[in-house]
Amino acid sequence: MAINNIELEDYSADIDELQAQITGLPHIKDLMSAQEFIDPVDELIDDNDDDIMASVVERYSGDIAGEAEEAKPNDIEEDDVPIADVIRALELLKIHQLKSKHRSALHLSNLDKLGRDLMAEKCSRGRQSTITSFFVSK
């Protein structure tokens, strides 16, 4: 198991010594091993690209209760995907690119530019409300 590119096996003697010190402490209930503390099972990260893609598709697909509709080339309308969802998907792509072994400064730069363009588009779509729109007439 590697943490921050450092092999835990290199520190097995230190881990064993730490475990011995922890075991010797009085009044400890539910003792956790040093290995469990260093590398908790519930915090394992799976960076498999297939899992990421499946997660994104599942999150943003419009398939409800298994009823998938085939999209025709001219069926896509401008407002089919809310801009906020597009921005969230772009953030996932940025995170993936940052954590990727094959990270590219060019890709990150392009994703940042696209993010700025999307934010500008979101702002241009917004409408300013008038003060009277907050009151209901009787």
The string of pLDDT tens digits covering residues 20-74 is 888 888 887 777 777 777 777 776 666 666 667 777 777 777 655 455 555 555 5
Q: Do 34 and 85 share a domain, yes or no?
A: no
Give me the pLDDT at residue 100, please. 83
Domain with 34 in it: 11-43
Q: Which two tokens stand for residue 103?
A: 């990270």
Give me the pLDDT at residue 32, please. 78
pLDDT of 107 higher than 50: yes
Confidence of residue 2 (pLDDT cuts 50, 70, 90): very low
Higher pLDDT, 7 or 136: 136
Tell me, yes or no, whether 113 lies in a domain. yes
Q: Do 32 and 56 share a domain, yes or no?
A: no
Tell me, yes or no, whether 96 lies in a domain. yes
Tell me the C-alpha distance between 37 and 72, whole Å.
52
What's the domain count of the chain?
A: 2
Q: Do 57 and 121 share a domain, yes or no?
A: yes
How big is the CA angle at 114 (ends 76 and 52), to the nearest 5 degrees?
75
Tell me the C-alpha distance between 58 and 81, whole Å.
15
Tell me, yes or no, whether 28 lies in a domain. yes
